[in-house]
Amino acid sequence: MRNRFDTLKFAIPAEAVRGIKEAAFNQKTDCDLETGQVRTWLKAKPSALPIGFAELTNERNHPDWTLSLSAKTLGDSYLQGIGLENIEEALSGIGQILDLNLYKALDSNPQVYRADTSSNISLTAIGTQSQSQIMEALNMAKRNPKFKTQVFNRAKNIGITFKGSQEEKNYIKAYDKFLDLNCRKNQDFLKSLHHPSRMLEQSKTICRIESEHTTFRSFRNRFKTEPRLLDILDSKAKVNHDFLAKVIGTEGQLKLFDEILQSKQAKQSPKQFIRELGLREFAKSCDYNIQQIEEAFRLLYPVRQDFHYNWNGARKEGKAYGGVKVEFQAIIEANQGTKPNHHQPFQTESNLIVQNIMQALAA
């Protein structure tokens, strides 16, 4: 399956431009004081750009134009994103200010400067109707230290962004599309639609995944092709899947997170959980051998009274209190399978959410 795109920025060859609506443009000039070189360029006025178009510029010293657009140029078909089959429709609106030979522009297979891939994943397929739960699961799944995490959990913005700290600094994000469409910045877009209510209802049922790509190396590595418009649109590389897999790794959620969630479900306090985790790791380091554990405690507590108090505990009315021996015996018994161990790893809901997202992106 080919990728879908939320944003594209690419070159428009000069020979594909037959003219412009001059009232829609500003002419700008600057001068390099060091070299004396004067640069003059045309830039479309923001107020003149049709909805969905973000930039249209031309340098007089460079014949080609630069065009930036989003899938909002598709109007009521916005959520499906830009693809190879509707790129002509997405570009048609620019004709209001630019006399463009569309076929000549596309046939030139122009250079791409930015491409944001988008995926809509059904909340039903993910296994939860809670956008906040999705972001929490992705946050816990993150493994790669080269990506910085930013989480949003507000009334008007629920999402998570993983941004690379490498040279490219590209990002991948997941977010609640319904809340995003209801932001003030999208009000004019919604007003331009024939069926805005239908789009809003559709957006309630999905989680949106988007990733940004801005360098020639990222295009070649992620799309497996050169950064040319038709080649990028035709690529079948699983870009969002591979990008997210790079962020979260392939091992799945750490066992520790499974255990934390279980301890919370059992209403265990953080101190209790940390103490029990420490005892289990101590037992593991002694190969779950009670004699070795006892010898280790004797080394830790060389004074006889201290050892007996911490190992056997204080006695009151014939019962021991405070000693760890009984706890170690329970841990050893559970590890040997003679008693169910409630801390054995299991498929947590958050882990399943991430797996479902990855399966959907791989489809």
Give the model confidence (pLDDT) of 69-98 as tens digits: 999 999 999 999 999 999 999 999 999 999
- CA 25, 53, 13, 99 dihedral sign is negative
Residues 6+ apart with CB under 8 A from 100: 12, 16, 17, 18, 91, 94
What pLDDT is recorded for position 318?
59
Determine the Cα angle at 66 with ends 62 and 68, to 5°: 170
Question: What pTM was computed for the model?
Answer: 0.77
Token code pair at residue 134: 């999705």
Question: Tens place of pLDDT for every residue, the chain, 363 residues?
Answer: 899 999 999 999 999 999 999 999 999 898 889 998 888 899 999 999 999 999 999 977 678 999 999 999 999 999 999 999 999 999 999 999 999 999 999 999 999 999 999 999 999 999 999 999 999 999 888 888 889 999 999 989 999 999 988 777 799 999 999 999 999 999 999 999 999 999 999 999 999 999 999 999 999 999 999 999 999 999 999 999 999 999 987 555 556 666 776 777 778 888 888 888 899 889 888 888 898 898 888 888 888 888 888 888 876 665 656 688 888 888 888 887 544 444 444 467 888 999 999 999 999
What pLDDT is recorded for position 142?
87
What pLDDT is recorded for position 308?
85
Q: How far is CA 302 from CA 294, 295, 296, in A?
A: 12, 10, 10
- Half-sphere exposure for 30 (CA within 13 Å, toward CB): 5
Ramachandran area for residue 194 (φ above 0: left; ψ -120 to 50: alpha; else beta): alpha
What pLDDT is recorded for position 317?
61
